[in-house]
Amino acid sequence: MNFRTFAAFVGPSVFMMLLFIAFPLVSVFKQSFYITQPIYETVEVETCTPGFLTQTCTTEEVSQPKLDEHGEVITRTEYVGLQSYLNVLEPERAWRAITNGEWNVLSTIDFWKALRFTVTFTLITLPLVVGCGLGIAVLINNAAKSIKGPVIFVSLLPFIITPLIGVLSINWLFRGDGILTATMEWWLQRDIALFAQAWTIEILMMLYRVWHVAPFAAIVFYAGLQTVNQDSLESAVIDGATRWQRMKYIVVPHLMPLIIFVSMIHLMDAFRTFEEVVGFSSQGYVISLQWLTYDFLVPDQAGNRSISRASASAMLTMIGIVILLIFPLRRTWRDHKGGH
């Protein structure tokens, strides 16, 4: 295929990706160094209240946004360097908290709080997802042929459901005196409030995430299990390998590329966790990095969106993803080069 035909086929797609992914990236990078604000002016306002004999008048200085001839607020964009990053990171306070060892102070700064949660969330759910996925895949593989179809159907439900609705359905089971909280209270004979402190909410969020992603991992691993070499399994049995040893030395190494694939997809997706915070309405206790950016982008009570701070936190989130993915990517890169 010559270059012109190739370009004609691929062109529209590349154009869309450039326009809607690469260009916004560049513009976010640029925005994070600029800040757009309304210009304020100080005016003397005289307010008079009617009184006996004379009015009592007070003049005070009020700062108000300047308006142009159409009555719209004049804004000015200026270069502020790293100021937006500093606003998000608050490095001085953070550093003081770290040197004094006051971790609870560090967690009052939104960004560090979000970073702490996002990273622990990603890293704790990763082995759980891979483990559960592998377990379910082995179970499905063991099952009788006639029930495999229905079982896969049921397993797909948590994966296919709208993430927000999935979070909400878990939320409704536990919120207040939801059915599972009530059952737990009856079992333990004590009052349980799962939404009153951060760590229980975090556990629920991780539970949801594993419930949501494990089916995906399971289906992928199940497909991989179909291609395990039966002869090597049989020779392992003849050599006296136990079930566990066969699993460890034959099946898992065979599935290794798939495990890396699932882990990479999971790392990407878990690091941008967002629906959990909205669905559990946990912004008072637990927030994630992507939610932080979202929160900056939502207009506040005065109708202003803090675009530059959002851009800064978005760039910082991206740096996080790059750091997280650099090791698995380097590994696949080496495998790719070694394979050819």
Which residues ranging from 253 to 272 are in contact with another protein (CB under 8 A)? Answer: 257-258, 261-262, 268, 271-272
- Residue 64, SS3 per DSSP: strand
Q: Which of 286, 287, 292 minimizes the C-alpha distance to 309?
A: 292
Is residue 20 at the binding interface for another protein, with CB under 8 A as the rule? Answer: yes
CB of 56 to another protein, least distance (A): 42
Is residue 17 at the binding interface for another protein, with CB under 8 A as the rule? Answer: yes
Q: Are 1 and 45 in contact (CB under 8 A)?
A: no
List binders of another protein among 193-212 (CB under 8 A): 211
> b/e per residue, 126-160, with b = 16+ CB within 10 A?
bebbbebbbebbbebbeeeeeeeeeeeeebeebbe
Is residue 252 at the binding interface for another protein, with CB under 8 A as the rule? Answer: no
List binders of another protein among 279-338 (CB under 8 A): 281, 289-290, 293-294, 296-298, 305, 307, 310-311, 314-315, 317-318, 321, 325
CB of 231 to another protein, least distance (A): 9
For the chain, how many residues are written? 340
- Residue 35, SS3 per DSSP: strand
CB of 78 to another protein, least distance (A): 15
What does the DSSP assignment read for 282-305? -TTT---HHHHHHHHHS--TTS--
Stretch that binds another protein, among 42-50, 87-95, 105-113, 155-163 (CB under 8 A): 155-163
List binders of another protein among 23-62 (CB under 8 A): 23-25, 27-28, 31, 36
CB of 238 to another protein, least distance (A): 7
Torsion of CA 160, 161, 162, 164, to 10 degrees: -130
Q: Exactly one of 6, 95, 103, 249 binds another protein (CB under 8 A); which one? A: 6
Q: Exactly one of 54, 104, 189, 230 binds another protein (CB under 8 A); which one? A: 230
Residue 233 makes CB contacts below 8 A (sequence gap 6+) with 246, 250
